């Protein structure tokens, strides 16, 4: 039986809209569009082990990495709903080398641009590990009525209006943040709707989990190594040792730490001083979500949300999580 006490994503966004009579509903409509794309992606991700959709697509993306077929499917779904909706003037995607400006009568009047990683962690698809979609929404700085411009996409993360992710896990969840809060919705497959399951998510100030690729340990800076050592030790201040958990699928790793409390790190290495993760598609959205939930995010020295991007695909070292644990880490990085 359908539980009428539970709000669906649409009902929730409309309820939010009603609290602000001056709002136009464009953001709600955009979130609905993303919800629809993610339901379609979810269907294909669930079938991934069954159909001949797995495997390399044979092309290489702008980052020089293999592209799987599902990445392309997910990219096209996201781009399709946003192009056909009324709220988005253009998109940037981790899978595309350049932005796509929609440039039609309706889109040129749209307030927002959206950046997304359509299927993060897709290297995990063929071993049935949770993967996700990450998105980030900015208000345009270019003139309404005209096509959007590159400047709309290269804004610092602090200008995000909303950010979120979908996790295709043991259940499928959509979590999104606006400045007013972070809310999580679980897909009820029986009605095909995202239902509010995690209202007003707050990240615990301390947690017991640290997440990092230990394989790179000897390539990290001394500060990062020392902090990892502290995570492994029992001290009266930290109450450690902490538990190490690293799925290698950022959406799942950060989602778990957001809910349970913890810290996620993708530091620079001697070979790759800027690490692996992309500022615009991966780090900014999670930095925004975690900050709204009470956590912190830095590149080791700077607040992620203050970084002015120079390129669409730039990478940055990334540290994100519970406020208290981030402050512990900062103590080591400053030394």
- Indicate the annotated binding residues for Mg(2+): 94, 117, 119-120, 282
Compose the 272-291 pattern: x for residues touching ligand AHM by CB under 6 A, - for all others: ----x---------------
Which of the residues 90 through 119 are near ligand AHM (CB under 6 A)? 117
Give the span between the Cα atoms of 98 and 48, in whole angstroms.
28
Residue closer to Mg ion by CB (options 208, 276) is: 276
Query: Counting contacts by CB under 6 A, is residue 133 touching ligand AHM?
Result: no
The CA-based angle 61-150-31, given to 5 degrees, is: 80
Q: Which stretch binds Mg ion (CB under 5 A): 39-47, 60-68, 113-121, 210-218?
A: 113-121
Tokens of residue 278, six digits:
């992309």
# chain residues binding Mg ion, by CB under 5 A: 2
Figure out which of the listed residues 35, 92, 118, 121 binds ligand AHM, where binding follows CB under 6 A. 121
Nearest to 323 by CA among 276, 242, 257, 274: 257
Figure out which of the listed residues 117, 152, 193, 328 binds Mg ion, where binding follows CB under 5 A. 117
Compose the 225-254 pattern: x for residues touching ligand AHM by CB under 6 A, - for all others: -----------------------xxx----
Sole residue written with tokens 């692996």 = 276
Task: Specify whether the CB–CB gap between 176 and 143 falls below 8 A.
Answer: no
Figure out which of the listed residues 123, 147, 156, 181 binds ligand AHM, where binding follows CB under 6 A. 123
Task: Specify whether the CB–CB gap between 286 and 305 falls below 8 A.
Answer: no
Residue closer to ligand AHM by CB (options 123, 147) is: 123
Query: Counting contacts by CB under 6 A, is residue 122 touching ligand AHM?
Result: yes
Q: Which stretch binds Mg ion (CB under 5 A): 99-107, 110-118, 161-169, 172-180?
A: 110-118
Residue closer to Mg ion by CB (options 157, 207) is: 157
291: partner contacted, choices Mg ion, ligand AHM, none (Cβ within 5-8 A by kind): none
Nearest to 29 by CA among 13, 40, 11: 13
Task: Specify whether the CB–CB gap between 75 and 93 falls below 8 A.
Answer: yes
- DSSP lists the bridge partners of residue 263 as 210, 321
DSSP state of 216: G
Query: Counting contacts by CB under 6 A, is residue 120 touching ligand AHM?
Result: yes
SS3 call for 93? strand
Sheet with 172-178, side-by-side order of all strands: 100-101, 88-93, 112-120, 131-139, 160-168, 172-178, 181-188, 193-198
213: partner contacted, choices Mg ion, ligand AHM, none (Cβ within 5-8 A by kind): ligand AHM
Which of the residues 161 through 220 are near ligand AHM (CB under 6 A)? 213
The CA-based angle 210-213-248, given to 5 degrees, is: 90
CA distance readout (Å), 218 to 225, 239, 309: 8, 25, 29
Query: Counting contacts by CB under 6 A, is residue 42 touching ligand AHM?
Result: no
Give the span between the Cα atoms of 97 and 86, in whole angstroms.
24
Helix (H) or strand (E) segment spanning residue 115: strand 112-120
Nearest to 100 by CA among 118, 86, 117, 88: 88
Query: Counting contacts by CB under 5 A, is residue 120 touching Mg ion?
Result: yes
The minimum distance between CB 267 and Mg ion, in angstroms, equals: 17
Residue closer to ligand AHM by CB (options 93, 108) is: 93
| Known binding-site residue numbers | 94, 117, 119-120, 213, 246, 276, 282
| Known binding-site residue numbers for substrate | 213, 246, 276
**Which chain residues interact with Mg ion by CB under 5 A?**
117, 120
**Which chain residues interact with ligand AHM by CB under 6 A?**
65, 117, 120-123, 213, 248-250, 266, 276
């Amino acid at each position: 039986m359908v539980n009428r006490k539970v709000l669906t994503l649409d009902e929730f966004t409309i309820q939010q809209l009603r609290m602000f009579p001056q709002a136009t509903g464009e953001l709600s409509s955009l979130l609905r569009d993303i919800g629809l794309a993610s339901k379609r992606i979810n269907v294909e991700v669930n079938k991934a082990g069954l159909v001949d959709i797995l495997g390399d697509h044979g092309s290489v993306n702008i980052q020089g990495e293999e592209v799987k077929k599902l990445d392309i499917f997910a990219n096209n779904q996201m781009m399709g709903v946003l192009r056909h909706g009324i709220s988005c003037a253009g998109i940037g995607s981790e899978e595309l080398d350049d932005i796509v400006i929609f440039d039609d009568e309706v889109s040129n009047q749209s307030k927002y641009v959206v950046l997304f990683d359509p299927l993060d962690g897709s290297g995990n698809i063929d071993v049935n590990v949770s993967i996700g979609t990450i998105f980030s929404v900015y208000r345009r700085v270019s003139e309404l009525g005209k096509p959007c411009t590159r400047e709309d996409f290269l804004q610092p993360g602090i200008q995000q209006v909303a950010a979120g992710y979908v996790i295709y896990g043991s259940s499928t969840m959509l979590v999104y943040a606006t400045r007013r809060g972070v809310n999580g919705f679980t897909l009820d497959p029986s009605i095909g709707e995202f239902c509010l399951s995690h209202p007003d998510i707050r990240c615990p100030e301390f947690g017991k989990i640290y997440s990092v690729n230990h394989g790179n340990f000897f390539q990290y800076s001394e500060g990062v190594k020392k902090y990892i050592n502290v995570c492994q030790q029992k001290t009266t201040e930290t109450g450690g040792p902490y538990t190490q958990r690293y799925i290698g699928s950022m959406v799942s790793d950060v989602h778990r730490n957001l809910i349970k409390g913890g810290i996620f790190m993708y530091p620079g290495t001697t070979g790759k001083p800027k690490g692996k993760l992309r500022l615009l598609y991966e780090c900014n959205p999670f930095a925004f979500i975690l900050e709204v939930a009470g956590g912190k995010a830095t590149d080791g020295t700077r607040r992620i949300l203050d970084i002015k991007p120079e390129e669409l695909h730039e990478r940055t070292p990334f540290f994100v999580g519970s406020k208290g644990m981030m402050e512990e880490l900062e103590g080591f990085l400053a030394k």
